[in-house]
A and B are shown apart, each in its own frame.
Chain A
C-alpha cells in the first residue's frame, strides 16, 4: 500500500498515457486496442482509489473514494469503459493538482519553518564545536559569524554585528547588536561577529513560538468555516438521501451514482480554509501574527480603532528634540557636560541625554561626583565645574535666576509636547534641553489607510496629561482623545463603546493595556520583539512594532474575508449548476468530475492571490491598499 502511495504520480501518468493511447486507437480504428487500454487505465488508476476507500471504511469513515469506486465498478459492469477510465484518471490527476496548489498556499508557513536554524557553533573549553541546534543548552556560549543564523535566543557578551531580523519582525532593514543586546533565534547575521549566551533554546525560542502560533492559527476556524462544517454535516446525508430518491424515481443506478459523486462538496469544504491559510501566512511574512480565522473575520468588521498613546502611537522612547544655549558653551559642549553629570542618574530623561551624547560620538565617561534630587534633577561637579540639571523647581530651590525670555522659551517648548530641562553652570543658567516622545513616523499614513478601508472613528486613550494628549491627537487628526485614564477606565471605555454597538479594536503595547486589549473585539499588541505576554493576550501581534503592519493586517483581514466569500459563493453555485445538469441529463460522470475538480482548483488558486497581497502596494508607498 505504501508502494502505491509512493508512486501515485507515476500511476496517474501511466493512466493518462493509456487514455491517450485509447484515443489514438479510436481515431485509427483499432477498437480492441482502445478497449484494452481503457480497461487497463481504469484498473491502474482505480486501485489506489479503492485502497483509500477501504482504509476509510475500516475506521467507519464514508469517503469520496468509496463513491468513486462504486461508480467505477458500476460503469465497468455496464461497459462504459471510456467513462470509468476518464473518471479514475481525473480523480487522481485532480488530487495531484490540488496537492501542488495547496502546497503553494502553505508555502508562506513553510518558508518560515525553513528559516529555522539547523546548527550552532558553541565554545567548549575554548574549542569551537559545531552541534545540531537541538543540543544547545541554556548557558552555552554560541558563536555566530557573517551569513550565519542565530541558533538561540540570548544576550550578546562579545562582538558586534548587523542582524536581519525579518524572521521575527518582518522588517528586513538590519539592526545593529552589541554587548548586552538581545538576539533572536532564526535571525541572520548580515555581517559581523557575535558571542552569545544562550537563554532560550529549541521550542522555547520566540521563533519556535511564532511558528507554533501560526500553525495553530491556521487551524482555528472562522465563522464561515464553522458554518460550512455544520452545513456539511447536514449536506452529506441529504445528498445520499436525494441520490436514493433519484434511484427510486428513475430506476437509473448510473444516474444516482453520478449524482452522488458530483454532489461531493469539494470546493465548498476547501474554499474557506485555504483563504484563511493564505491570509494568515501572508500576515506572518509581514510580521503580523493573526491568531486564527475567526480573528480575521472580526478584524475585517471593526469600525472603531482605539490606540494607547505612549509606546503605540508614539515611540515610547524619549528623544532630544532641541538644545538651546544661553551661555558661552556651544550645543555639543553643553550636551557633553550634561551627559557626564547624568551618568549619576537612573532616570529615563537622564539616560536619554547620555544616549544622545553617545549617538553624537562623544565618549562619555563616568567619574563625577554629585547628588540626585528626586523629582527635581541633580547637582554634580564635572571637570571642576558646578552643574545643576533639572526642572524649574530645582532652579528656584538653588536660587538660580531664570530670565523671563528663557522661561518663555521653556513654556513654548512644553506646549509643543516637550519636557524642558534647565541646565545651570557655575550658578548661571546656561541652556534648555527639550526631550519628547516622538510620534511614530508611519502613524499618520497607517491611520489614513485604516480610515480608507472602513474604520469610522479613531480614538486615543492615555494615562498621560491632557496637554501632550491633545497635541498628539491634533497632529494625527484623531476623532477623540481621553487623557489621565487608569487601566480600568480604559477597559470601561472600550466596554461602553461595545455596548453602543461598535466593533472595537484596541491597540496597545501589551502590558499595562492588557485588560483593555482583552475586552476589545480585537486586541492588538505591539510585540516589541515578541514579549510572551503580548503574544498570549492579543488576537493580533505586530512583531516589528510598526503601525503600517496594523494597517496591513486590517486590509489583509478585509481581503481574506472577501476571498473567502468569493470562494464559498463560487463553490455553492458550482454544486447547484452541476446537480441541475446531472438531473437534466446534460452532465455525465466524467464531465461532472472534471468540472468538480476544476472548481476545487479555482478556489485554491483564488486563495493563493492572497499570498501576494500588499506586495506591490508596499513598494509604492508603504501602505497596503485593498486590491483584492
Chain B
C-alpha cells in the first residue's frame, strides 16, 4: 500500500473539494478499496474518509424509499421496509459476500465495487482497466468469470456485485453530489458503463462526485426473485445471477423487470426481453424466446462459454418460478 494523506471530510462540499484533487479517492466501508490498495492496484495519494458524513438512514421518499449512501449492506437488507416491499433487493444483498463484509460495505461503495477479473488484480499481468493501453491478458487467457455481453476488444471484465443487479431490476436511481454542490440523479441502469475504449472508467462518476444515496421508486409488488449461480454454496461471486420482478395478471405477464449479474461490465438490462414477455401468457416457449433474445449477441471467450447455456437455463428457472410454473 502506497502512503497517502488520510483526510476526513467534514460535510459534502468539503468532500467534493477534497475529492476533486488528482489522486484522491473516497473511502466508506473500504472492503474493496483497501483490498485493492494493499495490492497497489489502487494507489490513491489522498484517502477521503466520508464515513462521518450524514448519509445514513433509510427514509420515505415519495412513494418509495431513499437509502443513504452510507447505509451498510447489512442494515439495508435488515430494514423491514426493504424486506417486505423490495424483497429482490434484500435477497440480492444477502446473496453477496458475507455478514462481516456486508456490515462494512455501504450502499454507495458497493455500487462502485470494481471487477474481480484475475488479471486486473495481478500487477504482473496486462490490464487496460488498471493500466490503460497495456492490453487485456484476460482475452485469450483464463476467463471463466468474464463477460459474454457488452464486452470490448480492450476489456472483458464483469461487474461482480449483486445489489446493483436488483437495483437495476427495480429501476432505482443514484443521487450524486458534484463538486459544484449540485445534485444529479442517474438511473442505476446508466450508472455503470460498458468498457468500450475506456475500461478504466467503471461508471459515470466524475472527480469530486460523492454518491449521496439511492432512490427506490414505489414498491414494485409482483413476485420478486434473486437467483445466483456460483461455484460454492456461499461466499462466491456470481457466475450468473438474475433479479426479477414479475407481475402476472389474468393469466398474462403484465409486467416484467429483469436484470442480470455476471454477464457484463455492468448489471445487464435488456428492455427488449421485458417487452417480449409483457402481455404474453407464460409458457416455456415464451421463456425460450426471451432467453434467445437476451443472448442473441452473447459471445463466449473460451472458458466462459458455458455462461450462455447457464444464463438461458437460469432465466427459465426464474421465469417459471415467478409465474407459478415448474420443471
Q: Please say whether chains A and B are actual partners in one complex.
A: no
